[in-house]
Amino acid sequence: MEKILAKNKLDDWVAALSDWQVSAPIMEDDIWSYKASKGKVQLEHSNTVQPPKGFSFPQREVFFSFEQIKGQPPRLTPIQPKAARHAVFGVRPCDGAGAVRMDTVFNDQFQDNYYQARRSNVAYVGLACNKPQGINCFCQSVGGSPVSSQGMDVLMTDLGDRYYVAAVTETGKALMTAGGKVFGEPSADDKKKLKQTHADALAQPQRAINNVDAVPAKLKASFDSPLWEELARACIGCGACTFLCPTCHCFDINDENTSSSPLRGNRVRTWDNCQFPDFTMHTSGHNPRENQGARLRQRVNHKFQYFHENFGMSQCTGCGRCITECSVGVDIVNVVNKVTEHVG
C-alpha cells in the first residue's frame, strides 16, 4: 500500500488513529525525545537523543511481586505488562534497524514475554532521512540505509509539501487504512520524485568504517591489542553511550523490597551497562574486565564481532549517538578503524 499524504493532513491521520496511543519526537528541555503527541505531530526533528527502544524494552520492568508472611509459604504474583497499542511516528531508519536487532535478541531460542508483550503492540511509523541527521551518521557503513524500511511498519518520505507513505507490514496497512480519506493516490510524478529523493539521500556523504566486511575477523585478531587501553584512556566509564544506543540490551535483575516486615517487594529488570566497572564484578572481588580498555573492547566487539558471529549482522546501526553524546570524544568509528587498520 502506497499513498500520498499532504503535510497539513498529518494531524488528521493521527486523529483517525483513535485506537492507538501516538508518540512522536518533541523538543522539550532542549532535546528531541519521543513524547505522547497530544494530537499534534510535526516531523521536523533531527534524531532523538534517546532511541525508541524503551517502548518495548523500558529501563525498568517489574517481573513479579513477592510477599512472605510468617508461617505461610511465599506468595508470588506475576506481573505482565499491560501495553496499549502504540504508534511511534518519526522513527529514523537507524532506529528501525535497531528494532530488528532487539527483536532478534529477545526472540532467539527463548522468547522474552515481557519484551514481546510490549513489542507486539508497538508500531513504528518511520521517516526516511533525506539528509544525515548529524555529523556522526554512518548507517551505510553497517548495512543500513537512510531510506531503509527495516523494522518499520510504515515508511514515510518527505517530498516537500507532502509525504510519500508506504506500508511495510500488515500493521502498517491497518494504520494507513484507519486514515482512510486523508491519503491520496500517488501520481507518476510522486513516484518519480520518491525515487529521486531516495537516490539523493543515498548519495549524501556520511562517516565511514573502512573495509567493513573484514571488521569481524580483524577484531577477533585484535583482542589483545594494546590499542584498546590507549583508545579508552579518556573514557570516564559512564553509561551514556550504551543507554542511548538503539541496540544495547543488557540488563540486571534485582529484588526491590517495599516492606521488610512482612517481607514484600518486586523483582525488577533494569538496564545495565558494560561500561560500568561493576558490570563484570565477581562476588570474589575479581573483575575480569579490569580496565576501561577491556570495557571499550567489549562494547565494540559485541557490536562488530560477536553479533556477527551469533546473528550474521552488525549490531551497530550507525546512528552515531554514542559518538555525539560522548563527553570525552570516544568515537566508535574511529576506534573500529584504528584497531582494524593495525591487523594485516
Partner 1 sequence: MINLQDMRDTARNMLAKNEVRGVIGYRRSTNGMLAEPVVITKPEQADELIWDPTCFHNLSLYLVEDRKFLAHTRAKADLPIAIIAKGCDARSTVVLMQENYFERKDVYIIGVSCEGTGVLDERKLVKKGIRATNSAFDGDDFVFTTEQGEQRIPAREVMADRCLECRECFPKEHNIVLGEDKTGRQLDAPFTALKRFEELDPAARWEFWDHQFERCIRCFACRSVCPMCYCDECIVDSTSFPVTGQTTADEKANRVKWIERSATRAENMTYHMTRVLHLAGRCIDCNECERVCPVNIPLRLLNNKMEREAREQFGYEPGASIGGPSLTASFLDTDPGKFIR
Chosen residue from 310, 327, 341, 342 binding partner 1 by CB under 8 A: 327
Three-class secondary structure of residue 79 per DSSP: coil
Site for partner 1 in 133-162 (CB under 8 A): 135-136
Q: Is 268 in the site for partner 1 (CB under 8 A)?
A: yes
Q: Is 210 in the site for partner 1 (CB under 8 A)?
A: no
Contacts of 138 (CB under 8 A, 6+ apart): 206, 207, 208, 209, 318, 320, 333
Measured over the CA atoms of residue 212, residue 213, residue 218 and residue 219, the dihedral's sign is positive
Round to whole Å and give the CA distance between 5 and 215.
Answer: 41
Q: Is 250 in the site for partner 1 (CB under 8 A)?
A: no
Chosen residue from 225, 315, 324, 340 binding partner 1 by CB under 8 A: 324
For residue 292, the minimal CB distance to partner 1 (Å) is 9
Q: Is 30 in the site for partner 1 (CB under 8 A)?
A: yes
Q: Contact region for partner 1 (CB under 8 A) — 15-23, 70-78, 306-314, 331-339? A: 331-339
Nearer to partner 1 by Cβ, of 113 and 257: the residue is 257
Q: What is the largest CA-CA distance in the chain?
A: 76
Nearer to partner 1 by Cβ, of 205 and 312: the residue is 205
Q: What letter does residue 304 receive in the DSSP assignment?
A: I
Q: Is 316 in the site for partner 1 (CB under 8 A)?
A: no
DSSP code per residue over 91-129 = E-HHHHHHHHHHHHHHHSSS--HHHHHHHTTEEEEEE--
Q: Is 204 in the site for partner 1 (CB under 8 A)?
A: no
Q: What letter does residue 161 receive in the DSSP assignment?
A: S
Round to whole Å and give the CA distance between 148 and 156.
Answer: 10
**Number of chain positions touching partner 1 (CB under 8 A):** 46
Q: Contact region for partner 1 (CB under 8 A) — 93-101, 179-187, 266-274, 295-303? A: 266-274
Q: Which of 271, 269, 240 is nearest to 256 (CA)?
A: 269
Question: What would the grid cell of residue 320 be?
Answer: 552515531
For residue 93, the minimal CB distance to partner 1 (Å) is 22
Q: Which residues of this protein are in contact with partner 1, per CB under 8 A?
A: 29-31, 33, 49-50, 59-60, 135-136, 233-234, 236-240, 243-244, 252, 254, 256, 268, 270-273, 276-278, 281, 283-286, 290, 323-329, 331, 333-334
